Structure 1
């Protein structure tokens, strides 16, 4: 059997950096290694680099359920790692451990970052296939950690701010206004980074208000031409803040919100899938609607020396 002949297959990449993230145009190098348990003939070993996106979900009830789906292929090309010089001779490879280097370049293009969710995914894979006479082709697949190129624009690295206010009214009684100003040091952040949120409150009412910050994710999945879509919202992290007492002004507070280390990057360049993030700061007063400030942020692959 094929599985008994080839064992301990492994792909070793020459790491680019501590994150080991690839982007369009990057040169990928490494070695494949495997063990042959007996003398064998291998016609060729190929390496295929693939990039694709797909989404799928269902709508309607049990009697009129409809499946929605879409696919996009970004690239699919093949390189040869090893070729038997003369197939008619079918020279045999001896048993033991064998190592073959490989080099391939990711195509240039505006490709979206890797993403994986229940209703959709963007996947970049490296497939190594063995072609042997009188055997089915055996393939080994490895996923790549791919990130869209991040250009540090003025907008991404500039402070981000927002404000909101309201007056509390209860039947015939009116209370003083409540206002909130929120400021972030910039718009772009890395997974695993801590976001510093600077808040300024004014509470002219007779009630105590409480603060809270949340990181929200929005996933949107589309069919082709965006005829149909499905939206998934997730609450990723939260942090409680200080209480703002009644009849107080110029109250300053600082919250620190941790971005989970495993969150995917923001995706805005895929025709069938989008991922976006918001930091929501709430000021809550009992029996009244919350006062909210929304700050849209970008999670991206920032350079290490930003």
Structure 2
């Protein structure tokens, strides 16, 4: 069998930075390496660089189950490393002897406004190097190696350095009586942050009720998936980080001078250049009462790949 003749196939490439990421226009230099357990004839060895997004989700069950999906391709660039590409219809003039074979390559990512790599609840954006070994009159054998593509978002953009503020209030009723308002207001130093960074939040609370309130701060990620032409969509939101504060006593006001919430180090950047998928973030301050109501105030955040420069002393 063909599968039995190829062993230990690897695709490796040189790292361009500490993050081990690639971006538009980068030249990828590396090599493919594999062992042949017995002599074999081939037509060509191809290398492709690919980028695409796919989404799929389901509604209903059994016979009423409905599938929603979409696909978006960004590029599919192929190069010949050895031989001539003829879709497997050639004579297999190239003979690979038993042993290890190594072939270097150099291939460039195209220029374009492509979304960053992302794997979500109902979809993903994937970039990969794909090697193909073509044998005469057979389907090519494919080997893939995914890489992390980043379309950089710079936290130094002026719009991302603007302080953010939000507030909310609500009257709390007990049967027919209004007991007083619950109010909150908060501010952030800026809008853009990077994974691993700590967000400093200043929050003011007013509790004019007779109940004890529970405050918290959350980093919320919202994933939105679309079918082609955006005729259908699906939202999924989840807390990536959550910090609870001290309980707010009745008929009292208080200020969190420096509530701190750390962004998880593996948080993906915002995804906004994909027509079938979006990833957005917000910071949400909440006040809740057990078996009561929730009061929320929210501001949008942008998770960046390039951190903001620190102001000089």
TM over 0.5: yes
SS of the residue 1:107 aligns to: coil
* TM superposition score normalised by structure 1: 0.86
Displacement after TM superposition at 1:78 (Å): 0.2
Displacement after TM superposition at 1:262 (Å): 3.5
CA distance in 1, matches of 2:292, 2:304: 36
CA distance in 1, matches of 2:32, 2:307: 29
Displacement after TM superposition at 1:14 (Å): 0.5
Find out whether 1:129 has 2:132 as its counterpart. yes
The equivalent of 1:6 in structure 2 is: 6
**1:281 to 1:240, Cα distance in 2 relative to 1, 3 A:** same
The equivalent of 1:236 in structure 2 is: 240
Verify the 8 A CA contact 1:2 1:135 in the aligned structure 2. no
Which sections of structure 1, spanning at least 5 residues, go unmatched? none
Q: Report the more deviating stretch, 152-161 or 224-233.
A: 152-161
Verify the 8 A CA contact 2:13 2:29 in the aligned structure 1. yes
Displacement after TM superposition at 1:257 (Å): 2.5
Displacement after TM superposition at 1:141 (Å): 0.9
Q: Deviations over 1:239-284 (max 9, x none)?
A: 2112233343452343333333333332122111112122211122
Verify the 8 A CA contact 2:242 2:261 in the aligned structure 1. yes
**1:291 to 1:33, Cα distance in 2 relative to 1, 3 A:** same
SS of the residue 1:145 aligns to: strand
Find out whether 1:52 has 2:52 as its counterpart. yes
CA distance in 2, matches of 1:280, 1:14: 41
Of residues 187, 199, 212, the one that matches 2:216 is 212
Alignment of 1:154-165 (within 5 A): 154-165=158-169
SS of the residue 1:4 aligns to: helix
Displacement after TM superposition at 1:61 (Å): 5.2
Alignment of 1:29-48 (within 5 A): 29-48=29-48
**1:91 to 1:60, Cα distance in 2 relative to 1, 3 A:** closer
CA distance in 2, matches of 1:122, 1:250: 44
Q: Report the more deviating stretch, 171-180 or 208-217.
A: 171-180
CA distance in 2, matches of 1:2, 1:63: 40
Which sections of structure 2, spanning at least 5 residues, go unmatched? 85-89
* TM superposition score normalised by structure 2: 0.84
Find out whether 1:185 has 2:162 as its counterpart. no
CA distance in 2, matches of 1:157, 1:79: 43
Verify the 8 A CA contact 2:43 2:91 in the aligned structure 1. no
**1:89 to 1:140, Cα distance in 2 relative to 1, 3 A:** closer
Of residues 267, 273, 298, the one that matches 1:269 is 273
Find out whether 1:166 has 2:170 as its counterpart. yes
Verify the 8 A CA contact 2:24 2:111 in the aligned structure 1. yes
SS of the residue 1:109 aligns to: coil
Verify the 8 A CA contact 1:168 1:288 in the aligned structure 2. no
The equivalent of 2:288 in structure 1 is: 284
Find out whether 1:299 has 2:303 as its counterpart. yes
Displacement after TM superposition at 1:294 (Å): 0.9
SS of the residue 1:301 aligns to: coil
The equivalent of 2:87 in structure 1 is: none
CA distance in 2, matches of 1:11, 1:225: 36
